[in-house]
Each structure stands twice: as structure tokens, then as C-alpha cells.
Amino acid sequence: MRNTARWAATLGLTATAVCGPLTGAALAEPAAAPQSLYAPSALVLTLGHGDSAATVTPERAVTLTCAPRPSGTHPAASPACAELRATDGDFDALGAGSDVQCTREYNPVVVTVDGVWRGKRVSYERTFANECVKNSFGTSVFAF
């Protein structure tokens, strides 16, 4: 009987050492991970010269994070995030500047955007006729 008690004590101490003490908290369901206070908004924008993203080698790339605050390597993160918030992340709704006059030169520039906007996956591609047209479209977002 004495060996059984010793065996039970050894087993109990081993279980406590490995698993921790068996308290009510240890037996309860694990706490759920805290929910974020904001939906993530993090984007990668690339630029290259050519007709489509499939054939273009990116020449520049920047990151843009808009939540919880504007940041990233984008040179104008705050204004770019403000423009995207105003269009609810709709890149096509970023209109061209009305007073911008560009040449008719065809030197295509491809901009891509991949990432997450307010918790939803985003993938966008647009080919502009030239650099001037790109710069007039959504004054801050594509100005990198």
C-alpha cells in the first residue's frame, strides 16, 4: 500500500511539473484571442513600365498602412490614406485632376496594388498612358 501512495504522489508531482497545477482556471476553456479594434488596411503598391503587370518588372514598390494610423514607405502616407478612405478603398473612384494637362505620348506605366483594405483582400492593376497621367490620377495614392 505504501508503494501505491508513493507512486500516486510521484505521478501527481510529475503531472504538476509538466502541465502546471490543475486549478479551475487550467480546466476552463482557453480565453478567446482579443478582437482587433480596427480592420487591417495594409497595401503594397508597385510601378513598372509596360503594358501589363504580367510582363512588367516592378521598378518601384512602396508599402502603405492606413490602420491604426498612416505609415509605411509611401512618401505621402497620410494624404493617400485619406483619399482611400474618401472612396472607401475604390481605386477606380480616385479621379484624374481636372486642371492637369498631359502629352499624348504613349509610354505605359502599370501600377499594382495588393493587400488588405479594411479587412478585405484587394488586388488592383491599372495601366496609365504615361507617367503624367498616372500622377494626375488620385493625386497622392499613386504618387510614389
In a domain, 82, yes or no: yes
- Percent of the chain at pLDDT > 90 equals 53
CATH code assigned at 121 = 3.30.350.10
pLDDT at 25 over 50: no
In a domain, 22, yes or no: no
pLDDT at 12 over 70: no
Alpha-carbon dihedral angle through residues 21, 22, 28, 34, given to the nearest 10 degrees: 10
Number of domains in the chain: 1
- Greater model confidence, 113 or 5: 113
- Domain that residue 129 falls in: 41-136
Find, among 47, 63, 74, the residue nearest to 133 by Cα. 47
In a domain, 26, yes or no: no
Tell me 138's DSSP state. Answer: S
In a domain, 36, yes or no: no
| Least confident segment among 38-52, 97-111, 123-137 | 97-111
How do residues 58-81 score in pLDDT, each as one tens digit? 999 999 999 889 999 999 999 999
In a domain, 120, yes or no: yes
